[in-house]
Amino acid sequence: MKSKISYQIIPEKKIVLECFCGELLWKDLINNKKKLLLEKEYYPTFNIIDDVRNAFVTYDEDEIKEFVKLISDNKKLYGKRKSVILTKTPNQIINSVMLDSLKKSLPLNFKSVSTLQEALKWVEISHKYYQFIENSLDKLKFKCPN
């Protein structure tokens, strides 16, 4: 199954929504971050909600270390922020825990959760925007292959 990554930057909320579908390979994750760097609305201090609930993560510890290095070496990706990963399977949880353990040197707070409500609380977005964020993630998910 091919991977698909789509994202939306919401500048007024200072947040980036990312939706991952299919088999998520390390190179796809890296390419997505490089693409995000080119966006004029993106700032490294924006919080991030990553939705991997429709993805199967296939990268390993060495690849995660390389990803952490990419972030730490790139000033536009390196910023104090909160990141949250929405998960639902053991595969997704294991990979997010591994990322959390390896990102210790980065200035970001990271958490893995299973509900959007928990995600919004973590990135400090009011519950009144729940439906807006959920609809935005659904639109991003719609762009994913079946």
Name the pairing type of β-strands 15-24 and 4-10.
antiparallel
Angle between the 26-37 and 61-73 helix axes, to the nearest 10 degrees? 10
Nearest to 48 by CA among 141, 123, 140, 127: 123
Mean pLDDT across the chain: 81
Asked whether 18 and 48 are in contact (CB, 8 A), the reply is: yes
Q: pLDDT tens digits, residue range 16-63?
A: 999 988 888 878 877 888 888 889 999 888 999 999 888 887 766 677
Q: What pLDDT, on the 0 to 100 scale, is given for residue 146?
A: 47
Residue type, 22: G
pLDDT of residue 44: 83
pTM of this prediction?
0.81
Every domain of the chain and the residues it spans: 4-142
Mean pLDDT along residues 97-123: 75
3.40.50.10600, 3.40.47.10, 3.10.129.10, 3.20.20.70: CATH of 4-142: 3.40.50.10600
pLDDT in tens, 116-134: 999 999 999 999 999 999 9
What confidence score (pLDDT) does residue 128 get? 94
